[in-house]
Structure 1
Amino acid sequence: LRCGRILAAWFINQGHLFEAYYFKTPDGRAEYYDAEGKPLRKAFLKAPLRYKRISSYFSYHRLHPILGIIRPHLGIDYAAPIGTPVETVADGRIVYMGWKGGFGKFIKIRHTHRYVSTYGHLSRFAKGLKIGSYVKQGQVIGYVGSTGLSTGPHLDFRFLVDNRYINYLKFKSPPVKSLPSKYLAQFKKQMSYFRGLLKEPFEYALLKSKDFM
């Protein structure tokens, strides 16, 4: 026996009610939405890995720790142990995967015509991936290393918007695509049902919720 998927949840913080409802469209798209049918998931993760600290920030004037010269560092260095899984921050397609000079083992992913992310100094790539592979948000694409021009294990993560490097720590991720209007009535009906279950005794609600598993 194990816990199944969470189908609905309420959370009250400082008197404000937050709601989340799981809904799967007939074409197989599954997301959590608020009571208005707006998706709760962002299109991009806050970070591509679980990290210990940020060892180097985005800067146009950084003293390079190895070369000893001032030059731009157009990314974020996330310090983490060798072998820490690295995830793609959003759905996309791998457009480069291999060795890239000072970046060592390197992956470049195009997410849409506007967004691109890169991952450098990897120790190895995840199995089964190649140039052209489609990856889903949160999928492991590689593992932290110290390949290339590196002083220690970390991930060099960079992000481009309209072919321009930006500070990802200041990037405000858009939400994923909204629920198509043709499914809104069905979602509202299911949401109302879940709302009713959340107001009922827990044991009874658990028995009835299996219809949507």
Structure 2
Amino acid sequence: MVAHSLTAELEARHFDPVMASAVKDWLHVDSNLPQPLPPGTLVDALFIREPGVREPDLVRLTVYDAGREHTLYRFRDAHGDTVLADSDGQGLMPIALVMPVPSARLTSGWGWRINPVLHIPEFHKGVDLAAPMGTPIHAVASGRVDFFGWHGYYGQMVELRNGPDLVTRYGHMSRYARGLHDGEMVHAGQVIGYVGSTGLSTGPHLYFEIWEHGKRIDPLRIEAQTAAVTPQANPVKLLPAVVTPVQLDGSELSRFQAFRVALQRALNAPGNTNATPIATATINPMP
């Protein structure tokens, strides 16, 4: 039973926190739902326990509002990525991120600063991650190479499209990974280039940006720190994930609709014991 909030209940059932966050985001962006969800909202979550798996997976979530049903399905596409989608295939894809340079030091974060080369105030819309010249740079998520080459102040840069509305940029490279080319699909963690100091730079480091919906966002989450801790000593940690809108179409939409039909057939099968529904319950507004 959902006693307090949907996300808290999902996490209490050992549901992946990234996916729980994506569920919350889906509820917030669904224009057909009131914001926030009012007290008295009824929610039904369906978990399926696969044979040999200890913890069940959430496969369907339904919110009842003013006599209407809003249903979300958890679906894995042909690339192995998880999508949270409604019955029409429209929804969200949570994209987990890895560090581009795991051993790097944060030398300049997101926000206002004095540009170390131009010596003027500027809003730094990315982060500088210092590492020795030639240190490998990894793709933070799977995606397609949209651009690589010289790009003004970025110097030698690689741009990856990691989702419909998600782009990552890697600047000041000394060189690119051998064989890298436009249109290439790369996987999370794959080496795409090497740390350098090309473009507007004072020393070897990676200048890293995340673009979401055409705007740059702060890509880092800094762990708790005290005033005595210097920026160079801070542990650097990326946002755990970025949630981006998706619309399934073509063969993916066909696979998704077939998944929905197969799910319903399995639920209707006599003697089915793998489905673990959470009873509808009154919940508080989403946190």
Per the normalisation by structure 1, the TM-score is 0.63
Structure 2 counterpart of 1:36, from 56, 74, 80: 56
SS at match of 2:95: coil
Number of matched pairs: 156
Q: CA deviation at 1:152?
A: 0.8
Q: Deviations over 1:13-68 (max 9, x none)?
A: xxx99799xxxxxxxxxxxx9722479x9723242112331000011x21000100
CA distance in 1, matches of 2:98, 2:212: 16
Query: Counterpart in 2 of 1:199?
Result: none
Q: Is the 8 A contact 1:50 1:84 kept in 2?
A: no
Query: Counterpart in 1 of 2:202?
Result: 151
CA RMSD of aligned residues (A): 3.2
Structure 2 counterpart of 1:94, from 145, 150, 159: 145
CA distance in 1, matches of 2:148, 2:110: 23
Q: CA deviation at 1:89?
A: 1.0
SS at match of 2:145: strand
Amino acid at match of 1:36: P
Amino acid at match of 2:116: P
Relative distance call for 1:174 and 1:76 in structure 2 (3 A) is closer
Structure 1 counterpart of 2:100, from 29, 48, 53: 48
Query: Counterpart in 1 of 2:270?
Result: none
Q: Is the 8 A contact 1:74 1:158 kept in 2?
A: yes
SS at match of 2:163: coil
Q: CA deviation at 1:112?
A: 1.4
Per the normalisation by structure 2, the TM-score is 0.48
Bigger relative CO (Cα 8 Å, ≥ 6 apart): 2
| Alignment pair present for 1:83 and 2:151 | no
Structure 2 counterpart of 1:118, from 153, 157, 169: 169
Query: Counterpart in 2 of 1:168?
Result: 219
SS at match of 1:111: strand
SS at match of 1:169: coil
SS at match of 2:197: coil
Q: Deviations over 1:106-162 (max 9, x none)?
A: 011111111000000011100111111111111110011111111111100000110
SS at match of 2:220: helix
Amino acid at match of 1:35: E
SS at match of 1:160: strand
CA distance in 2, matches of 1:157, 1:124: 15
CA distance in 1, matches of 2:185, 2:129: 24
Query: Counterpart in 2 of 1:202?
Result: none
Amino acid at match of 2:104: K
Relative distance call for 1:53 and 1:163 in structure 2 (3 A) is same
Q: Is the 8 A contact 1:19 1:34 kept in 2?
A: no
CA distance in 2, matches of 1:163, 1:17: 35
Considering only CA atoms, is the larger Rg found in Structure 1 or Structure 2? 2
